[in-house]
A and B are shown apart, each in its own frame.
Chain A
Amino acid sequence: MPRMGALVDLQDVSKRFDAGPPVLDSVSIAVAEGTILALLGASGSGKTTALRLVNRLARPDTGRVAVLGKDVEEWDVVELRRRIGYVIQEGGLFPHFTVARNIGLVPERMGGAEAQVRERVIELLTLVGLEPAEFAPRMPRELSGGQRQRVGLARALAADPPLLLFDEPFGALDPITRRRLQNEFRGLVKRLGKTAIIVTHDLAEACRVADEIAVLHEGRIIQHSTPKALLESPEPGYVAEFIAASLPE
């Protein structure tokens, strides 16, 4: 049974690809409603795979994944994914659609009337800080990296999902834009009362954006705590080393 109050609940999940070492090894994480959790780890730690289990882009070999109190295997996969916003690096925008169509695609598919969809697009663009009249008709190639991420977020929010997943969303941005977006994204998620999981390899980003941080190493969670607790009392060994390496000299 999923734990009470957990919007996302990974219970003892393991996964391996072919004959390699396990990508995830008996991982259990619960994310309470309204929480922003950062999955922190180096590349190959299994953090992206853990994220993809949540919207069933990947499936565990063993263990259970529950979202909104229901096992993901029991969800109709389309229904499940429409309750989960997904933002990837560089936004993953469809290059042949305008900004407006990218954002309006899911509402349109869910049967929204044209006027309704248009209104929703304007609302979302305003929400993520883009001037609707200017940006709605643009093609993705006419956007900067930061603007693309904003559109990606607007698209993820289009169906008003309770849960948002971010996979290295700020990885390709310059430091100033990255800092600004991190703050805005956190503010927006909190203001809308959403639950979010963000995958990152950047300690500073995790601390800035998240309420809780789970550190992944070789497919296992080795520490799960608040940012403050993580910085103040890291587990000796990998976590301590990771933190030391992330801090300025």
Chain B
Amino acid sequence: MIGLFSFILDRRGELGRLIAEHLAMALLATLAAAVIGIPLGILLSRRERLAAPVLAVANVLQTIPSLALFGLLIPLPFVGGIGPRPAILALIVYAILPILRNTYDGLRGVDPALREAAEALGLRPGEQLRLIELPLALPVILGGVRLAAVLSVGTATIAAAVGAGGLGSYVLRGIATVDTRLVLAGAIPAALLAVIVDAALARFSRSERPMRAGFILAGLALASSLTLLDLRPSTPRVVVGSKNFTESVLLGELVAGTLESKGFSVDRKFNLGGAWLCHRALLSGDLDVYVEYSGTALMDIFKRPKNTDRSVVLASVTADYAGVGLTALPPLGYENNFALVVRALDATTFGLKNISDLRTVQTQFRLGMFGEFLERADGFKGLAQAYGLSFTKAPAEMDLGLLYEALESKRIDLAVGSTTDGLIAAKGFVVLEDDRHYFPPYDALTVVRAAALEEHPGLRAALETLNGRIDAATMRRLNFEVDGRKRDPREVAREALSSLLPQPSGQ
């Protein structure tokens, strides 16, 4: 507990920024949802026939899983891409229903005798609404706003998956690097924030002048949204991305650190939710560079048939990238292949050495793998087919960061990880041999927007200093520093760079 406290205290600067971003996203979304939802609710209370269909649509929107909604928004022009924009839009979609619903219900719940009294007094329709119905419905409407705000604070945690920042960054980074402290450092403030926002809004809805309080709150939301604006001087910056697992974050840090050592200004957009998202972000210009694996690019991004010849794969993806305005640089120097990992004891007991040996245990083994592997063209289905395997128990889908813990605690018996995972050796696990050469080669290579290479003179040269300099042993060691020793990826990358890169002369 004390360890956690000092851990959080050490990061108070960054934590403060994340809290501000988080709050800004949630409040801005709530404000926008109120601006849309309240007038729409008023309209529905006046046009009863519209109410049922519109509320049904809002209900359906509410049921879209948040990550799916973020995913759907990415390819859209203007609002799409990665960063706070699509995140806020998604949060608005979720926040509209409670506000719309409560506005409608609140207005419909006004005593008909009072509505009629207002009418009989000769109040005009606008006056009836403004002076009588809205003030009487206000507690219910504000209840909806309050619910929407709390929902938004909660859902904003997922926004980190599209690079929007906020406290979700800690949660995602913590899961990716199997670091519980980091998860808690994000989750606890997020929960506290939800409680505080709820209490603040409850107070404001009891206030004597709720309208005035509302304007103050709206002002605060807008002011806090300034934190989302990048106020740093607009020197040209290179945006470096990464996927949401330790090795990808480390590679991102290695690229970013290299560029910084060459004098480039760098923005980090790490822990993005998967290869597809990173690729979309490159195409839309939200990212300038990230490290991808040749096999993944071949089959998942460009949908080419599987090929196990390393140089053929490299040539193919380099050409495909060039076709969409991206440049694939020569490989970094190591392959990160998929690894089917078992406990050492099981390996001995069941005589497991190759993947084909799994047939003897296919009725009893429980499998764990990250979701992407279930779907990928070079993933689980093809593997089972190639080896004639048919597992009795359906594989459990879990985050990469959780796999080895699950394997160690015997909740699963076979984990699909990668050959460079630092925890494999540290925990005494065994990697099964791909004896039928099912997996294509996965050379790590830097992919960069061709336009960015033109915008930033010297960028290519800077990036190429990493080419051929990282071998599998190095990567495994760096992964272990983060996953096994719980160290900060940026720090680990910085240390590694000081030995990997030739020291600048004359300093």
Contacts and interface: CB of A to CB of B under 8 A. Distances in A.
B9 interface: no
Interface stretch (A86-94, A115-123, A238-246): A86-94
A81 interface: yes
Contacts of B136: 94-96
B263 to A, nearest CB: 64
Contacts of B123: 78, 105-106, 109
Interface string B98-128: 0000000000000001101111111110010
B124 A78 contact: yes
Candidate in B113, B117, B123 with the most chain A CB atoms within 10 angstroms? B117
A105 B120 contact: no
Interface residues of A, number: 21
**What size tier do the contact residues of chain B reach?**
10 to 19
Contacts of A94: 114, 117-118, 132, 136
Contacts of A105: 121, 123, 131
Most buried by B among A84, A88, A94, A106: A94
B122 A92 contact: no
A109 B114 contact: no
Nearest to A158: B121
| Interface of B: prevailing SS | helix
B119 A81 contact: yes
A165 B119 CA distance: 14
A55 interface: yes
Contact of B114 (A55, A84, A92): A92
Contacts of A82: 121-122
Of the listed residues B114, B116, B119, B122, the one surrounded by the most CB atoms of chain A closer than 10 A to its CB is: B122
Contacts of A95: 114, 136
B135 interface: yes
B121 A106 contact: yes
B70 to A, nearest CB: 41
Given A96-B135, A96-B136, A109-B127, A78 B113 contact: no
A116 B99 CA distance: 40
Given A81-B121, A88-B116, A94-B136, 9 more contacts: A57-B116, A57-B119, A81-B119, A93-B117, A94-B132, A95-B136, A105-B131, A106-B122, A106-B123
9 closest A-B pairs by CB: A81-B122, A92-B117, A86-B120, A82-B122, A78-B122, A96-B135, A106-B121, A92-B113, A55-B120
